[in-house]
């Protein structure tokens, strides 16, 4: 007569534990990746908002028509802002806003014009240390966004 016992043996329990552990590691890696991608997207969106505000400021200054010679030369040094945190905080992301202003000549695709026209280009650069994995190249990747427009100054 054959004697059998019902139940789960030690090998079956250990196999199930290994399979569940591998699945949990995969899920955790996916969550960490998704969180870092969402963080990078949040920083990029914040940088774009700051850039649009900066562009609107300079569009207003051009429309005012009272630009000084140094303002007409552009800003090669940039204005420093914080996308995350502030000065002295442990977790903060600094960015620099730049602009370049070029006076265009009177010729365009539709003929000549007597108006003063300017090409305004604004850009922002930042390092996102949160999204960069720790390595020898960490922090050397600079992210950048650029926008430009042509402004016409109407003289009254």
For 87-117, the DSSP string reads TT-SS-EEEEEEEEEEEE-SEETTEE--SEE
DSSP annotation of 141 reads P
What is the rounded CA–CA span in Å between residue 154 and residue 152? 6
Tens of pLDDT, residues 115-147: 778 889 999 999 876 555 566 666 667 889 999
pTM over 0.75: no
Tens of pLDDT, residues 49-81: 999 999 999 998 888 878 888 888 888 889 999
List Cα–Cα distances, 4 to 7, 11, 105, in angstroms.
10, 17, 96
Percent of the chain with pLDDT over 90: 36
What is the rounded CA–CA span in Å between residue 56 and residue 47? 14
């Amino acid at each position: 007569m054959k004697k059998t016992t019902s139940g789960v043996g030690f090998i079956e329990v250990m196999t199930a534990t290994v399979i569940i552990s591998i699945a949990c590691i995969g899920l955790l890696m996916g969550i960490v990746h998704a969180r870092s991608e969402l963080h990078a997207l949040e920083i990029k969106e914040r940088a774009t908002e700051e850039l649009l505000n900066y562009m609107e400021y300079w569009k207003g200054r051009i429309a005012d028509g009272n630009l000084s010679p140094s303002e007409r030369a552009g800003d090669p040094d940039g204005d420093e802002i914080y996308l995350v945190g502030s000065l002295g905080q442990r977790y903060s992301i600094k960015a620099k806003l730049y602009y370049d202003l070029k006076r265009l000549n009177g010729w365009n695709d539709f003929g000549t014009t007597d108006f003063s026209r300017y090409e305004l280009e604004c850009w922002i650069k930042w390092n996102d240390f949160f999204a960069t994995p720790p390595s020898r190249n960490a922090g050397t990747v600079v992210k950048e966004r650029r926008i430009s427009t042509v402004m016409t100054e109407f003289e009254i």
